[in-house]
Structure 1
Amino acid sequence: MPAPLNPFKKALSEGETLFGCWLGLANGYTAEIMGTAGFDWLLIDGEHSPNDLPTIRDQLQVVSASDSHPIVRVPIGETWIIKQVLDAGAQTVLVPMVESADQARELVRACRFPPVGDRGVGYAMARASNFGQTTNYGPTADAQICLLVQVENRAGLAALDEILQVEGVDGVFIGPADLAASLGHLGDMMHDTVQSTIMDALQRISASGKAAGILSTDDAMTRASLDAGARFVAVGLDVVMLAQAARTTASKWRDGLK
């Protein structure tokens, strides 16, 4: 029995456009709720959310049972953490702060078994192989792993064309908040310079044949990103959705009676 098909990777390779949402609440119950919402993919955030391996695993379990594809963003591009989330069952990984082609090549190796990579061979005891029941997991797993790298500062932009040439990188995600800060516009992703830089990067990624990604909660920016070639687009964050809905409801009744 081979490793299961990665539907997210397949859809991107076929040119589909996929809409997703960030999961930052670090909770399996809320991840299960989000899995009923109809997003194509949900990103379990290990960089800016209070997640650890057990909470990532719990969310992988519930999201994998939904119609949404789970993606894990690791906190840093290190082989040890990539190995752990892959063993926990992630098939798609997003790595932040990628700044060079050499770094991208190291990440590709972290996602692949020897002799072509550095991923540790312990899948017989891992959730990824259904605890050994996926008998042909090892020889077939590499083809189903989807590696997304995040370019989000000046160094990454300078190396973008070289990163796009790295075989095994399936997509490049532009991190708008960090990119804005790197360009001298912290907190202002809508600045003209930031927006033109983002759209240029998305166009270059799309032209390379790799999938381009972005996070945007601004409708105009989302549409511009799609026009520039973005194909996996996060259009919401669960933390922001909860906070906004809670504040609106509280204000409606607290301030409405004054």
Structure 2
Amino acid sequence: MPTSPPDNSFRARLARRDILAGTFIKTPTLHSTEILGLMGFDFVVIDEEHSPFDRQATDAALFAARATGTAGLVRVQSPAPHHLLSVLDCGAAGVLVPHVASAALAAQVAAACRYRGGRRGYSGSVRAAGYGGGKMWDYVDRADAATTVVAQIEDPEALDEIDAIAATEGIDALFIGRGDLTAAMGAPTNDAPPIREAVDRIAAAAKRAGKPVMVFVGGIAEASWLHGIGASAFVYSSDQGLMKQAAAKALADLRALSPQARQDIPA
């Protein structure tokens, strides 16, 4: 059982249900993470699953997260132990693990991310351990206390085991993956009735297990809905999405300066 995390750690704030604002990092460079960290985001999620991050790019992004004081989570390529170990050694505050569709897999993931009572591989020379020189068991306890493990629920079969997944020791939170649920269930939108029902089931299981809920949102309306059913940590858009949004507005503003645009404005 991991020891209690420091009060100001991401894991402690998540457990308290503080409202936490984050975004996905899709661009394999440290600059997006650095800029968003300086803006004051509580956390970022470096997306190895759906973006072209290799270990070096992930390492650089995590360096930027630590330098700016934002929690750097990584959505790993897979639940394989070596993928989890890689990002934790690089200094990730936690992992978002895709396709956790059974309690057995949830238990394997939790074990791979913890030392005491788990199976996480040890090295004292990595960034997470301060590049050596410290006491092994002090580091082990700090790492176990601070590491956040989030199970992404995005498969219909996961709903059959959702209470057992949520109750798994070492799983700190559930992330509701509406995109994959929508695709897998053939729903027309990610807020269609079958998806809302699935979302409600996941949120209710998290509540019964005393676990917080994380979600991806595209705007404040979705955030309000999902906050109403218990979500407290919000992944809003991505570095790419935020750049497109700002670029579209800037371009529209400048296009409005053209003579033709001014002629089209009603008197």
Please state whether the residue corresponding to 1:147 is helix, strand or coil.
strand
- Tell me which amino acid in the other structure corresponds to 2:215: I
Give the whole-Å Cα distance in 2 for the aligned partners of 1:221 and 1:244: 17
CA distance in 2 between counterparts of 1:160 and 1:106 reads 16
Aligned counterpart in structure 2 of residue 29 of structure 1, from 28, 31, 45: 31
Give the 3-state SS of the residue equivalent to 2:175 in structure 1: strand
SS in 2 for 1:234: strand
Task: Please name the residue that 2:205 is paired with.
Answer: 204
Cα shift at 1:193: 2.4
Q: How many residues align structurally?
A: 253
98-107 or 207-216, which deviates more: 207-216
Q: TM-score w.r.t. structure 2 length?
A: 0.88
- What's the counterpart of residue 130 of structure 1? 130
Q: Which amino acid aligns with 2:161?
A: A
Q: 3-state DSSP class of the match of 2:190?
A: coil
Deviation at 1:256, TM superposition (A): 6.1
Residue number in structure 2 paired with 1:220: 221
For residue 247 of structure 1, report the CA deviation from its aligned partner.
3.1
1:87 Cα offset (Å): 0.8
Deviation at 1:38, TM superposition (A): 1.7
One-letter amino acid of the structure 2 residue matched with residue 178 of structure 1: D
Moved over 6 A (4+): none
The one-letter code of the counterpart of 2:250 is: T
Q: Residue 153 of structure 1 contacts residue 178 of structure 1 at CA under 8 Å; is this kept in 2?
A: yes
TM-score, normalised by the number of residues in structure 1? 0.90
Question: Can you list the C-alpha shifts for 1:103-142, whole angstroms capped at 9, x where unaligned?
Answer: 000001111226x2221122x2211111013322134422
Indicate the residue corresponding to 2:92 in structure 1. 90
- Given that 1:100 and 1:159 are in contact with CA atoms closer than 8 Å, whether structure 2 keeps it comes out as yes
Query: Quick check: 1:202–1:225 contact (8 Å CA) kept in 2?
Result: no
Aligned 1:146-165 pairs, distance under 5 A? 146-165=148-167
- The amino acid that maps onto 2:120 is R
Q: Are the counterparts in 2 of residues 199 and 225 from structure 1 also a CA contact under 8 Å?
A: no
Match of 1:107 in 2: 109
Which runs of 5 or more structure 2 residues have no equivalent in the other structure?
261-267
Q: Deviations over 1:54-110 (max 9, x none)?
A: 111111111112232111110100001111111111131110010000000000111
Matches within 5 A, 1:226-237: 226-237=227-238
2:20–2:232: 8 Å Cα contact kept in structure 1? yes
- Structure 1 distance, partners of 2:42, 2:204, is 22
Report whether the alignment pairs 1:183 with 2:185: yes
Radius of gyration: which is bigger?
A: 2
Q: Deviations over 1:154-188 (max 9, x none)?
A: 011221111012111000100111111111126x2
User: Is the CA contact 2:159–2:201 (under 8 Å) kept in the aligned structure 1?
Assistant: no
SS of residue matched to 1:215: strand
| Corresponding position of 2:242 | 241
Find the aligned partners of 1:213 and 1:178 in 2 and give their Cα distance: 15
CA RMSD of aligned residues (A): 2.0
Given that 2:97 and 2:152 are in contact with CA atoms closer than 8 Å, whether structure 1 keeps it comes out as: yes
Q: Which runs of 5+ in 1 are unaligned?
A: none
Q: CA deviation at 1:244?
A: 2.4
- 2: distance between equivalents of 1:228 and 1:190? 14
State the secondary structure of the residue aligned to 1:77.
coil
Q: 2:50 aligns with which of 48, 51, 54?
A: 48
Q: Identity of paired residues, percent?
A: 30
> What residue is the counterpart of 2:265 in the other structure?
none
